[in-house]
């Protein structure tokens, strides 16, 4: 559909540049701890990353919680609480179409990453582990290659 941003670009495109930079710097700081690390240590970090909640899952869980609470309160306390599920539904639709919704800036400031950002760190770790040949000289080089989707030698 014309006008709808690509999935991978939606959230970073609606995040303030300084917040994106802080998230990237935190990833780089994390990667620096693994330069020259034993493969089993890197394996542990990759396992942690596989369990990390990305921004989509975080937004979905948050929206479902607010909608459920609004529905329960609307049923047992006051019907006006039923506006909460309607508002949350609108936010989710807005996020699906535009890649932005009101809670997004809050979660991004809390350094909740996109699946692409998480996967870039995983790929950078695999590069540092030497999965694709000689490891890059630095965490910065590994992350840059991973963000471009270009493993060294492969």
Whether pTM exceeds 0.95: no
pLDDT, mean of residues 18-42: 97
2 within domain boundaries? no
3 occurs within a structural domain: no
Q: 53-57 long-range CB contacts below 8 Å, 24 or more apart?
A: 53/112, 54/112, 54/113, 54/114, 54/115, 54/117, 54/118, 55/11, 55/104, 55/107, 55/108, 55/112, 55/113, 55/114, 55/115, 56/114, 56/115
In a domain, 81, yes or no: yes
Domain carrying residue 23: 10-52+113-154
Residues 104 and 88 in one domain: yes
Give the model's pLDDT for residue 4.
Answer: 66
Q: Is residue 126 a part of any domain in this protein? A: yes
Q: With bands split at pLDDT 50, 70 and 90, how would you rate the model's confidence at 7? A: low
* Per-residue model confidence as pLDDT tens digits over 48-78: 999 999 999 999 999 999 999 999 999 999 9
Q: Are residues 98 and 75 in the same domain?
A: yes
Q: In whole angstroms, give the CA distance from residue 154 to residue 143.
A: 15
């Amino acid at each position: 559909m014309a006008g709808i941003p690509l999935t991978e670009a939606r959230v970073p495109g609606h995040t303030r540049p300084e917040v994106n930079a802080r998230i990237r710097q935190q990833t780089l700081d994390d990667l620096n701890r693994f330069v020259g690390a034993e493969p089993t240590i890197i394996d542990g970090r990759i396992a942690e990353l596989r369990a990390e909640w990305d921004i989509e899952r975080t937004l979905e869980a948050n929206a479902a919680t607010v909608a459920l609470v609004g529905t329960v309160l609307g049923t047992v306390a006051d019907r006006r609480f039923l506006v909460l599920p309607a508002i949350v539904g609108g936010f989710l639709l807005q996020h699906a179409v535009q890649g932005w919704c009101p809670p997004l800036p809050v979660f991004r400031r809390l350094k909740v990453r996109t699946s692409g950002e998480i996967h870039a760190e995983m790929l950078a770790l695999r590069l540092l582990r030497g999965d694709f040949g000689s490891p890059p000289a630095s965490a910065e080089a590994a992350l840059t290659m991973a963000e471009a989707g270009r493993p060294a030698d492969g």
